Amino acid sequence: MEKYIIKGGIKLNGTVRINGGKNASLPILAASILNRSLSIIHDVPVLKDISVMMEILQTLGADIVRKDRTVYINTEKIKTVEVPESLMRQMRSSIFLMGPLLSRYGKVRVSYPGGCEIGPRPVDLHLKGLALLGANIKERYGYIEAEAEQLKGTEIHLDFPSVGATENLMMAAVLAKGSTVIRNAAKEPEIVDLQNFLNGMGACIKGAGTDTIKIEGVQELSCVEHTVIPDRIAAGTFLIAGAITGGRVILKNIISEHLESIIAKLKEAGCKITSGEDSVTIEGSLPPKPIDVIRTLPYPGFPTDLQAPIMALMSIADGTTVLTETVFENRFKHVDELRRMGANIKINGHTAIIKGVETLTGAVVEGKDLRAGAALILAGLTAEGTTVIEGVHHVERGYEQIETKLKALGAEIEKVQVDS
């Protein structure tokens, strides 16, 4: 078993390059199925979820080569439309295979996807949308099967602006006959990136980034070359690392517009932040000021993926913060672990009331999901003494070599192998 061991209390100082986004890369890799030819994708992060998606594509018959940060995928020889259950269960994003396979081959068979346990994560909106596009869907024996000789453009109104459903339906509609309109679509930057990738291969999509996306079906698609947008959640995490240590951190390769909601909250916490064209600098000052209210919301609201990290910061604020999680049912698994480190947090339904304490203290804790793990690393960076964090495999789903990057900023952090 691997663990992170952190000696806290060091102000971080230096520059970190933010890698291409996990959440942007995953649907884009799945979308490479659509062109039945070559996709060249730059700045694909080296992460567990990405290797699972590449393994799935390879199992389906795609040729994949990674050279450094660029992935070359040729999907000309896809030979099956069934994704093995063992791979489906490894992450939530395996559901992205449905739209492209159904659209391209008229058939798909997958099991229910896995992923972090942050509350129920149904796929009803994905399936409802695919059915509206004309798919005949059967859910039986733990599998979802969908068939349609030719998907047909239609109007889809999402009950909730689900990121994954918007992306899956965009991919499904690209080769459908006629026009599709997705209303109440999610507006996340990763959806704009997917639109740009798909349009790069010849799709005709407009409106990503707004709540109405229009897709005019086309018959054929071709090769594409694309660079994935920077990971705004990793960027937010490193900004909080600067804030929580009272340090000075410069992020390179970011799109500052994507960070507006987190930057606004970190300014409320008393941090000095300056944004350049593709960089941002944070200067933290301790103790952080409390942020009165934080509510997670779909983009451009405060991202649920930064809820746990900002809670770590507010644990040492000079006052009380009320933080409400509105996107996921059960995303407070970090709270008990932060309490072990001395945090004073009360939970009332979906709301956490965080009374800042003067210092956190090192303890043995477990990151039970990806962002919970990140929050505990952040807490460990500020805590007195040594923090041992279990659950490295969750963190590695979404952060590329986080320990190496934090070390380069001056942190005392090691990833160690421990006999379990």
Ligand X SMILES: CC(=O)N[C@H]1[C@@H](OP(=O)(O)OP(=O)(O)OC[C@H]2O[C@@H](n3ccc(=O)[nH]c3=O)[C@H](O)[C@@H]2O)O[C@H](CO)[C@@H](O)[C@@H]1O
Ligand Y SMILES: C=C(OP(=O)(O)O)C(=O)O
Between 50 and 345, name the residue whose CB sits nearer to ligand X. Answer: 50
In whole angstroms, the minimum distance from the beta carbon of 304 to ligand Y comes to 7
How many helical (H) and strand (E) elements, i.e. helices and strands, does the chain have?
A: 14, 23
Q: Which does 18 bind (CB under 5 to 8 A by kind): ligand Y, ligand X, none?
A: none
Q: Which residues of 382-394 are buried (b: 16+ CB within 10 A; e: fewer)?
A: bbeeebbbbbbeb
DSSP per-residue string spanning 208-244: BTBSEEEEE--S----EEEEPPB-HHHHHHHHHHHHH
Q: Is 282 helix (H, G, I), strand (E, B) or coil?
A: strand
Between 163 and 411, name the residue whose CB sits nearer to ligand X. Answer: 163
Between 5 and 88, name the residue whose CB sits nearer to ligand Y. Answer: 88
Please indicate if the annotation marks 140 as binding a ligand.
no
123 vs 220, 228, 300, 352, CA distance in Å? 28, 25, 23, 27
Please indicate if the annotation marks 416 as binding a ligand.
no
Please indicate if the annotation marks 92 as binding a ligand.
yes
Please indicate if the annotation marks 364 as binding a ligand.
no
Please indicate if the annotation marks 36 as binding a ligand.
no
Residues known to be catalytic:
116
Q: Which does 87 bind (CB under 5 to 8 A by kind): ligand X, ligand Y, none?
A: none
Q: Which does 160 bind (CB under 5 to 8 A by kind): ligand X, ligand Y, none?
A: ligand X
Q: Alpha-carbon distance 13 to 118, whole Å?
A: 33
Question: Quick one: which of 42, 80, 43 has its CA closest to 61?
Answer: 80
Among 100, 134, 373, 398, binds ligand Y (CB under 6 A): 398
Please indicate if the annotation marks 121 as binding a ligand.
yes
Using the contact rule CB under 6 A, the part of the chain among 98-106, 110-118, 144-152, 334-342 near ligand Y is 110-118
Please indicate if the annotation marks 22 as binding a ligand.
yes
Q: Which does 261 bind (CB under 5 to 8 A by kind): ligand X, ligand Y, none?
A: none
Q: Which residues contact 413 (CB under 8 A, 6 or more apart)?
A: 4, 5, 6, 7, 377, 380, 381, 403, 406, 407
In whole angstroms, the minimum distance from the beta carbon of 415 to ligand Y comes to 20
DSSP per-residue string spanning 140-179: ETTEEEEE-SS-B--EEE-SS--HHHHHHHHHHHTTSBSE
Between 19 and 93, name the residue whose CB sits nearer to ligand X. Answer: 93
Does 319 bind ligand Y (CB under 6 A)? Our answer is no
Cis before 122 (ω within 30): no
Does 115 bind ligand Y (CB under 6 A)? Our answer is yes
Q: Which residues pair with 73 in a beta bridge?
A: 39, 64
Residues making contact with ligand X (CB under 6 A): 23, 26, 92-93, 120-126, 160, 162-165, 186, 190, 304-305, 327-328
Among 93, 103, 196, 307, binds ligand Y (CB under 6 A): 93
Classify residue 294 by its DSSP letter.
Answer: E
Taking every pair of Cα atoms in the chain, the longest distance, rounded to a whole number of angstroms, is: 63
Q: Return the sign of the alpha-carbon dihedral for residues 67, 72, 77, 82.
A: positive
Question: Quick one: which of 278, 375, 24 has its CA closest to 167?
Answer: 24
Q: Which does 392 bind (CB under 5 to 8 A by kind): ligand Y, ligand X, none?
A: none
Please indicate if the annotation marks 305 as binding a ligand.
yes
In whole angstroms, the minimum distance from the beta carbon of 397 to ligand Y comes to 7
Using the contact rule CB under 6 A, the part of the chain among 89-97, 191-199, 222-230, 248-256 near ligand Y is 89-97
In whole angstroms, the minimum distance from the beta carbon of 191 to ligand X comes to 9
Q: Alpha-carbon distance 304 to 23, whole Å?
A: 13
Q: Which two tokens stand for residue 143?
A: 């599998």
Among 187, 258, 371, 405, binds ligand Y (CB under 6 A): 371
Q: Interface with ligand Y by CB under 6 A: which residues?
A: 23, 91-93, 115-116, 118, 305, 370-371, 398
Give the annotated binding-site residues for phosphoenolpyruvate: 22-23
Give the annotated binding-site residues: 22-23, 92, 121-125, 305, 327
